[in-house]
Structure 1
Amino acid sequence: MSSTSSLSCPADQEPLIQRSDSPTGSITSYKSIPKSDNDDLELSLTNSNSNPRGRSVENDVLPETAVLGRNLGWSSAYILIMSRVIGSGIFATPGAIVRSVGSVGITLLLWIAGALIAWLGLAISLEYGCMLPRSGGDKVYLEFVYRRPRFLASVLIAVRSVLLGFTASNCIVFGEYVLYAFKREQSQFEGKVLAIGLLTTIVIIHSCFLKTGIFIQNVFGWVKISLAIFMVLTSLFVLLFRSNGTTDNTIQIWTKGSNIWDGSVWNWGITSTAMFKVSYSYAGLSNVNNVLNEVKDPVRTLKSAATTALITSCILYLLVNIAYFLVVPMEEIKSSGELIAALFFERVFGAKLGSVLLPLAIATSAAGNVMVVTFSHARVIQEIARQGFLPFSQFISSSKPFGAPMGALVTHYIPSFLVISIPAANVYSFILDVEGYPGQFFSIAGSLGLLWLRYKRSDLQRPYKAFLPAVTLQALHSTAVIFAPFIPREDLNWRQHLSEVSYAFVGTAVIVFGICYWYVWTVWLPRRSSSTLEEIEAILDDGTTVTRLLQVPIGFKPTLTTEQADTRQTT
């Protein structure tokens, strides 16, 4: 699975334990593994040889180089994070957040709290990533920790990644801002056509032109950082040199501290929903964890790039929000929907320049986010398929014909396409909440799993250690967020309340569906046919090592020929 060169790295980059033989057998050609016949099955299993570098979960502690090679240095890793973090969130969600919480003060507190909460999650992902330096992110970590019930963690991650791992929200923002820039009436149909066109183009680029796609997303990343800095500088220019009624009112807000709390809504249910949107804007700090097989010097790069990205994004988010408050009146912010940044540019640069060129820059920012999410999430899907948990696993696992995971990109494309096609006008906020809610369950599992590993697996080398109270706090926060939508709200009756928190029911339904799917596939069907699921390793034509799951009759015992026994003893 891992080449010898992938294991030769500095001592401080080797989070290794004593390797144990893989229980799954030798790596053979994928095409040589039979699909049904019992005689062929016996032949296949008798060819099993002990393989110390197999796809056993215990070998996740070994660094692995992707078939695609290690193409991502520190700069590419940093931009991969920043392009994921700075997407449509800071340009589209502040209006909805201010409308919910009512005041400048609570809004800024939420962005600071979001950074602290993001740090809790980042610390956990850093410890996991440095300890288990493999592509796949949560898929690798939860499989390593939760080995019983067998396959449950893997199936839940697969279901969530396929059904909820879409990039629809940023595609929608791209379409809205392009229409706004060209003075087109906000047409739901035209916006969706633009969104689907963007998604399709990006999938084609990443499928057929790997290095070109990496170069383009790096350029988009630096453009987004520059855009955020530019917005801050222009807001200061307006405040200092272009005095008018709006700026005079703004100056009063900031000089009289009590005004920043005017209109505050102190309700945990409302605040938690707003926090979903803030958290979405910080989502992606662990983006490099999904592609560590392609990162040069993965452990050191991960620690440095991720921490730098968190500090950068927190500072930029606070400054951009302050820029909005300095330029756009509060009432316009509350009614802006997803177009708050467009209103900002229009007020600063006038109707022509402000409403054409700079909204296009924001559309470019959203496109860059779609590029990096598509790039990294396709790798997660590929890792899931390599473990045999998806239909058409061979196609999804392969990097043929252009040296990129085309099958995984297509798998990522389909649910995103379907979500964008939903005939609903205000689907953006709902998508954000549906994406974020089930993630809280996995956050709790990851936090508790890290605590368990500290106690049970002291043999693991940890180049980075999370602050344990922070890990506990992260679990408590995720638990509070799970229950927050069900706290009664005085301003809504129960029907309206249920409608407002429908995202919680949809997110929970996805988790329940995953559990049912796992039970039917791994428990009920094998029990019904008096068999067990066994993992057989194989290698694809492009060199990708995969696992195939076979139903083996209970009591079946493979036998070795003399030649095979000698081979195993030699190995």
Structure 2
Amino acid sequence: MVNISYIIGAGIFVGPSLTLQLVGSGGMNIIAWTIGALIAMSGSWTFAELGTMLPRSGGEVGYLEYCYRKPKYLLAYMFTMWNLMNRSSSVAAQGTIFGSYMNYAFFGQDYKSDLTERLWSLICSTVLTIVNILSIKASLRMMSVLTVVKLSVLGLIIFVGILSLIGVIPNDNDVKSALSFQGTSDTIGPYASALYYVMNAYSGWHNLNFILDEVKDPIKNLPKASAAALGTTALLYIMTNVAYLTVLGTVTMKESEFIVAASFFTKSLGENFATKVLPILIALGALGCGASVNFSAGRIIMETGRSGLLPFGRTWGHVNPNVKSPVNAYLLQYFLTVLFTVALPPGAVYQFVIAFQAYPVYVFYTLIALGLIILRKREPHNKRPIKAPLVLVWTFMAFTIYAIIFVFIPVENPHYPYWVPYVTAIASMIVYGILWYYQIVIRDTPSKSYNEDIRQQGQVALEREVFGEYTRLSTDSNQA
């Protein structure tokens, strides 16, 4: 359930329309979402081997640090900085989707306003920040309720799609044409971009690797839970795509863009309930995804600050004694979220964020898959409770390399040059490398961090306890 709730966000309520625009046909769209599930499953096997070999929390940071030990902390630092930007931009993107559906509910299907969407997004990030600062219990309750909401909406979409397919709900759409391969794109470039949206919707398939310390018998349960969550989610996603195509058809679905789920309910269930209540429920589902990302982001900032991997780490690692939460960390997260919300190109916040987020993660995925192969050569005798089939590891790595290279094949984009988010991501990684050299090599902040102080204090206390007891026993013996 932890993995399922993390995986299912706004991607399935938005992505199918965007991927259909790229691949061209309903049949190919379903295949794209199926391929995404298989790629995620290959990645899940890869991470299961590393997770059971190194059964501790942390996920990618720990794997990168273990596999690539020189230069010290370089990849871990770059991943940390990327993760900070990734989570902030994710909250901004989910807030934008929230705004799209709230606009639909209050102002109608034809209302389009980039400014209003951003204002909704700012409201979301403000509310989430305040709640996370003031009450952990309230945050957890809010996320639980919102998770139930989005699962219920997804189940309703599939149920309505089945009723339309068998004729219980009237449907004037040509279902055979909608599910056919007519109009399939015959160039390779759009498929890389389409798979970015698909894989974004599946992101979170390795979420348990981040919290293995909290999992009972992780060596046994990590692969089982990951496979069950991913298999369940893939089935729901594929059935949802079929439902969208059955009710809307390819033309209407392409035109729907960010409000494809709202358009679906409007056509299948009518104007009133479908256009007022259900869009709000979908908006709340996006808010729920943003809430879970925002909640964990503050804790990640606090921990990385304490480890010395962020500038001014002691400031971000401070826990306010009055409210018992890392207030400074959440304020930094809020500032970055607002920055992404305001500064991104108009009319394409969601697309830009997904591309900007995804490009570095595929670089890290490639390094992790390669690292697994290196470890098998370097440390062949290490215990591996789960051993991923090499064909799956190579499949996963082949896709990540494909996704890194082929996004630079030109595709049409009315909002900005297609290459802008990828070049921006590359530039950001170069900046992170420069910051790593200054912070880790020149200033050596990990050796001066809060965590290092605690470790040294613990060593001193242990030495006093051990050697103090030894000294006392020696004195007693001499006196006797």
TM exceeding 0.5: yes
Q: Kindly tell me: are residues 536 and 566 of structure 1, through their superposed partners in 2, closer, same or farther at Cα, counting changes over 3 Å? A: farther
Q: Does 1:176 align with 2:100?
A: yes
Question: Which whole-Å CA distance do the structure 2 matches of 1:91 and 1:298 have between them?
Answer: 32
In the TM superposition, residue 498 of structure 1 has moved relative to its aligned partner by: 8.8
Question: Which whole-Å CA distance do the structure 2 matches of 1:432 and 1:222 have between them?
Answer: 25
Question: Which whole-Å CA distance do the structure 2 matches of 1:385 and 1:131 have between them?
Answer: 27
Match of 2:150 among 203, 224, 228: 224
Provide the residue aligned with 1:153 in structure 2.
75
Q: Is the 8 A contact 1:87 1:281 kept in 2?
A: yes
Q: Kindly tell me: are residues 159 and 241 of structure 1, through their superposed partners in 2, closer, same or farther at Cα, counting changes over 3 Å? A: same
Match of 1:352 among 248, 272, 279: 272
Q: Kindly tell me: are residues 565 and 209 of structure 1, through their superposed partners in 2, closer, same or farther at Cα, counting changes over 3 Å? A: closer
Question: Which whole-Å CA distance do the structure 2 matches of 1:81 and 1:371 have between them?
Answer: 15
Question: Which whole-Å CA distance do the structure 1 matches of 2:377 and 2:121 have between them?
Answer: 47
Question: Which whole-Å CA distance do the structure 2 matches of 1:203 and 1:307 have between them?
Answer: 33
In the TM superposition, residue 438 of structure 1 has moved relative to its aligned partner by: 1.0
Match of 2:417 among 499, 515, 538: 499
Match of 1:432 among 343, 354, 361: 354
Q: Is the 8 A contact 1:137 1:380 kept in 2?
A: no
2:281 partner SS: helix
Across the aligned residues of Structure 1 and Structure 2, the Cα RMSD in angstroms comes to 3.0
Q: Is the 8 A contact 1:290 1:376 kept in 2?
A: no
Match of 1:330 among 250, 256, 277: 250
Q: Kindly tell me: are residues 470 and 244 of structure 1, through their superposed partners in 2, closer, same or farther at Cα, counting changes over 3 Å? A: closer
Match runs of 1:279-358 below 5 Å: 279-295=199-215, 297-358=217-278
Provide the residue aligned with 1:203 in structure 2.
129
Question: Which whole-Å CA distance do the structure 2 matches of 1:376 and 1:135 have between them?
Answer: 14
Q: Does 1:464 align with 2:376?
A: no
Partner amino acid, structure 1, of 2:256 = S
Partner amino acid, structure 1, of 2:341 = I
In the TM superposition, residue 445 of structure 1 has moved relative to its aligned partner by: 1.0
Question: Which whole-Å CA distance do the structure 2 matches of 1:480 and 1:497 have between them?
Answer: 24
Q: Kindly tell me: are residues 352 and 533 of structure 1, through their superposed partners in 2, closer, same or farther at Cα, counting changes over 3 Å? A: closer
> Could you tell which deviates more after superposition, 371-380 or 337-346?
371-380
2:12 partner SS: helix
Q: Does 1:101 align with 2:23?
A: yes
Question: Which whole-Å CA distance do the structure 2 matches of 1:505 and 1:468 have between them?
Answer: 32
Q: Kindly tell me: are residues 414 and 545 of structure 1, through their superposed partners in 2, closer, same or farther at Cα, counting changes over 3 Å? A: farther
Cα shift readout 1:126-164 (whole Å, capped 9, x = no counterpart): 223333333332112211221101221122112212233
Q: Kindly tell me: are residues 149 and 181 of structure 1, through their superposed partners in 2, closer, same or farther at Cα, counting changes over 3 Å? A: same
Q: Does 1:515 align with 2:442?
A: no
Q: Is the 8 A contact 2:307 2:446 kept in 1?
A: no
Q: Is the 8 A contact 1:136 1:380 kept in 2?
A: no
In the TM superposition, residue 488 of structure 1 has moved relative to its aligned partner by: 5.3
In the TM superposition, residue 208 of structure 1 has moved relative to its aligned partner by: 3.0
In the TM superposition, residue 570 of structure 1 has moved relative to its aligned partner by: 7.1
Q: Kindly tell me: are residues 230 and 244 of structure 1, through their superposed partners in 2, closer, same or farther at Cα, counting changes over 3 Å? A: closer
Provide the residue aligned with 2:168 in structure 1.
241
TM-score by length of 1: 0.74
Match of 2:313 among 390, 393, 409: 393
Question: Which whole-Å CA distance do the structure 2 matches of 1:174 and 1:282 have between them?
Answer: 19
More helix by share: 2
Q: Is the 8 A contact 1:92 1:337 kept in 2?
A: yes
Cα shift readout 1:540-565 (whole Å, capped 9, x = no counterpart): 9xxx95799xxxxxxxxxxx9xx989
Q: Kindly tell me: are residues 387 and 570 of structure 1, through their superposed partners in 2, closer, same or farther at Cα, counting changes over 3 Å? A: farther
In the TM superposition, residue 398 of structure 1 has moved relative to its aligned partner by: 4.2
TM-score by length of 2: 0.87
Q: Is the 8 A contact 1:81 1:287 kept in 2?
A: yes
> Could you tell which deviates more after superposition, 502-511 or 156-165?
156-165
Cα shift readout 1:442-495 (whole Å, capped 9, x = no counterpart): 011111112222232345443433222211221221111111023356xx6xx9
Cα shift readout 1:200-255 (whole Å, capped 9, x = no counterpart): 22233233322332233223223222221211111222331233432xx11x337x
Q: Kindly tell me: are residues 283 and 459 of structure 1, through their superposed partners in 2, closer, same or farther at Cα, counting changes over 3 Å? A: same
Provide the residue aligned with 2:477 in structure 1.
none
